[in-house]
Structure 1
Amino acid sequence: MPSQNDTQLRQWAMLRRIPQQPRQITALELTGRLESEGFEVSKRTVERDLHSLSGIFPLIANDRSRPYGWSWSKDAEAFALPAMSPLQALTLELARDHLSALLPASLLGTLAPYFKCADGVLSSGDGVKKLAGWRKKVAIVPPNQPLIPPDYPDGIIEAVHSALLSGQQLEISYASREQGETKTYPAHPLGIVQRGAVTYLVATLYGYTDIRLLAVHRIRSAQVLDQPAKAPKKFDLAEYIRQGAFGFEEGGEIKLAARFTAPAAEHLRETPLSPDQRIEPDQAGWVRVEATVPGTAQLRWWLLGFGDQVEVLDPATLREEFVAISQSLHGIYHR
């Protein structure tokens, strides 16, 4: 049986969707709109609610038409009803689950009351239990080996988000993994990207225009500066990623040719490497795959993951890399 909260949420949603005369809406149309927002309700229940609410609010039923059309009286005062539909609540819950690392900390704080309201809506009663259970029926599974995300102080990510949101420079102390030392310099934030377990700040340093990827967990301190950040002319984060930046980039596009065992290449028929991908039969049990792809480290990791089920053919430089890797592996396993 629906709870009192469930009934109240449904009736608020109904009142917000009833138009003012001369426009009107039928009980059947209202039922459809409520169902599309996640309420489980019958036409009979909507009709019963309408008759009940018309004794409290200035609602008019046009009994000259069949089915009845319902409206707010044309002289009724306009007022807003606080309400969140189950669908809106579910969307907020999923956003909190999956986008927290990409939303500015200040914005998350502002959204806290809405998250609390969403929790209340999805636990309000039987009328929304199917939609409330949706979170338990969907999941995102990483395609590679899951890793535990690195820790970083809340103050670091808050400063990064604040500088990015306000378009200000950021003074950071950064521990370089390659150089093994911590340096302090001004950064011009361009974007935040989450790649697997690691969050990266995309930025330029000092007055240079070359773009750097800075792992947020290696930032030891961060302070927003008064100076405005400057972005390279025509920089676009989406285009930067599309060109293979998080591959990580090593060169431009290459024409890849590789021999795969037929089972290993089967998924490429459904999820191709590129629009121009071609798969042709090769020797028994093998196929030849050709595609134009970014020549990134990510591509190399992906190919290495197939082990002895792939042979790189072209370009020649990539084949030479894999020959060297295979010889090194042979030496390691035959000591």
Structure 2
Amino acid sequence: MPKTDNRDTLLRHWHLLKALPGKPPGITTREATNYLRDLGYSTDIRTTQRDLVKLKSVMAIACNKKGKPYGWYWQPGMGGDIPALDISDALTLHLLGNRLQNLVPESMMRVFSGRIEQARKQLSEHRGNWHNKVGISEENLGYVGPALDNDIFEQLKQALIDNLQIQVKYQSLQEPVAKDFILHPLALVLRGVRTYLIARTHDAQNDEVMPYAAHRFKSVRVLKNKKANRKNFKLKECLDSDLMQFGVAEPIDLQLKLDQVMFKILKETPLTKNQKLIPQQDGGLLEIQIRDSWSLKWWILSKSEHVEVLKPLHYRRKIAGILMSAAKKY
């Protein structure tokens, strides 16, 4: 590449920004200078240092001073892409940020936080009383997401990217102490506010896979040069199965009697696309083929004032038993 004119400051700054990584420890001033020289810029370390200090005053970049030499990097969620935002886009990002913070762990939010903060800063400079115009209201009583160790989550992601096995210490709900074993990571899945690693154990039979709650890993170590066994794994088939529903594989033909309120709600917002509603004078019937999962059971119990299980008989008895047991506590 031909030598670039030293007066072309704008392009030099642009390439310098593109060289910065998206997280600490960052790139050193010397490394950044060598990068610019490789592109044909005649510059030195002192000039690069001055450029970085100037850019830090107007851009979302940071200096890692935890050890020498110092490293420069983009603040979380920013990266080298710097698109402009109009007010409409900024409002959308602000709304998305409010929604995501209740759904994903903090370690994932870091990827978006820079963009969201950029949007909120732009909104704060706009005379539109924006904070009084958009908001989030949760439909249900939700959970606060469990804490997810950033270092452990990075190890899980890296193992997935490189298709490598991991040595883990995992604390299940059923066991009193954490256990050590080897896993073959296959996929990461978000379910509500929890993140799960879909994986095989080292001695899995018949390609069996299991979900492991990411926040229950006490330690994770990537095993270099030990490839994970991904034989016959298809994520879509996994998600379509009962694995993440924590129920039985076979669907049931469910019939519910609904009062007028619940009939109207399910007419507006169906449980599934294949549901059938039959109107009656006092409400109606719901006929649906659906998996017998924890989610279904909790939904029926939470709506027990408005719904009655009619079929199948074994499921009616199951729900009745739970309700009678609960009533005894009152």
- The SS at the match of 1:176 is coil
Deviation for aligned residue 1:273:
2.2
Unmatched tracts of structure 1, length 5 or more:
1-80
Alignment of 1:180-219 (within 5 A): 180-208=176-204, 209-219=207-217
Q: How far, CA to CA, are the matches of 1:258 and 1:200 in structure 2? A: 32
One-letter identity of the residue aligned with 2:290:
V
**Contact 1:104–1:158 (CA under 8 A) maintained in structure 2:** no
Rounded to whole Å, the distance in 1 between the matches of 2:251 and 2:173 is: 27
Paired residues of 2:277 and 2:287 also in contact (CA < 8 A): yes
Of the two, which has the highest radius of gyration?
Answer: 1
Confirm or deny: 8 A CA contact 1:243 1:294 kept in the other structure. no
Q: Which amino acid in the other structure matches residue 228 of structure 1?
A: K
The amino acid that maps onto 1:252 is E
Structure 1 Cα separation of the partners of residues 310 and 199 of structure 2? 36
Q: Relative to 1, partners in 2 of residues 1:215 and 1:223: Cα closer, same or farther, differing over 3 Å? A: same
Query: Secondary structure of the residue that 2:305 maps to in structure 1?
Result: helix
1:162: which partner in 2?
Answer: 158
Q: CA 1:93 to 1:262, structure 2 compared with 1: closer, same or farther past 3 Å? A: closer
In structure 2, relative to structure 1, the CA distance for the partners of 1:172 and 1:118 (3 Å cut) is: same
**Cross-structure match for 1:66:** none
Which residue number in structure 2 is paired with residue 75 of structure 1?
none
SS in 1 for 2:319: helix
Alignment partner of 1:293 is 2:290: yes
- Please list the CA deviations of residues 116-161 of structure 1 after superposition, one character each: whole Å capped at 9, or x if unmatched: 76566555x54xx65x9489614362x3322222223322222122
Structure 1 residue 268, shift from structure 2 partner: 0.7
For residue 310 of structure 2, the aligned residue among 309, 313, 335 is 313
Looking at secondary structure, tell me which structure has more helix per residue.
1
Q: Is the 8 A contact 1:84 1:121 kept in 2?
A: no
Secondary structure of 2:166 counterpart:
strand
Counterpart in the other structure of 1:84: 84
Q: Find the residue that maps to 1:165 and give its secondary structure.
A: helix
- Runs of 5+ consecutive residues of structure 2 not aligned to the other structure: 1-80
- Is the 1:102–1:193 Cα contact (8 Å) retained in structure 2? no
Distance change (3 Å), C-alpha of 1:330 and 1:121: closer
Superposed, 1:1-335 pairs within 5 Å as 84-86=84-86, 108=110, 125-126=125-126, 133=130, 137-139=134-136, 141=138, 143-208=139-204, 209-226=207-224, 227-236=226-235, 238-282=236-280, 284-333=281-330
Which letter maps to 2:269?
Answer: T
Q: Aligned partner of 2:147: which letter? A: D
TM-score, normalising length from structure 2? 0.62
Distance 2:231 2:104 in 1: 22
Alpha-carbon distance change, 199 to 234 in structure 1, aligned in 2, over 3 angstroms: closer
Q: Give the drift of 1:185.
A: 1.2
Q: Structure 1: how far apart are the matches of 2:272 and 2:198?
A: 26
Give the AA of the match of 1:233.
N
- Deviation, structure 1 residue 272: 1.5
Moved more, 148-157 or 177-186: 148-157
Q: Is the 8 A contact 1:247 1:299 kept in 2?
A: no
Residue 269 of structure 1 aligns to a residue whose secondary structure is helix
Contact kept, 8 Å, 1:258 with 1:288, in 2: the verdict is: yes
The 1:185/1:96 distance shift into structure 2, 3 A limit, reads farther
Letter matched to residue 137 of structure 1 = V
8 Å contact from structure 2 (residues 188, 197) kept in 1: yes
Q: Percent of aligned positions with the same letter in both sequences?
A: 25
- Distance change >3 Å, CA 157–CA 223, structure 1 → 2: same
1:218-238 deviation digits (Å, cap 9, x = unpaired): 1111111212222241412x4
Q: Could you state the TM-score of these two structures normalised by the residue count of structure 1?
A: 0.61
Q: Describe the SS at the equivalent of 1:292.
A: strand
Distance apart, 1:196 and its partner CA: 2.6
Q: Deviations over 1:64-117 (max 9, x none)?
A: xxxxxxxxxxxxxxxxx97534367667666766568869969957x8876776
Alignment-mate amino acid for residue 268 of structure 1: L
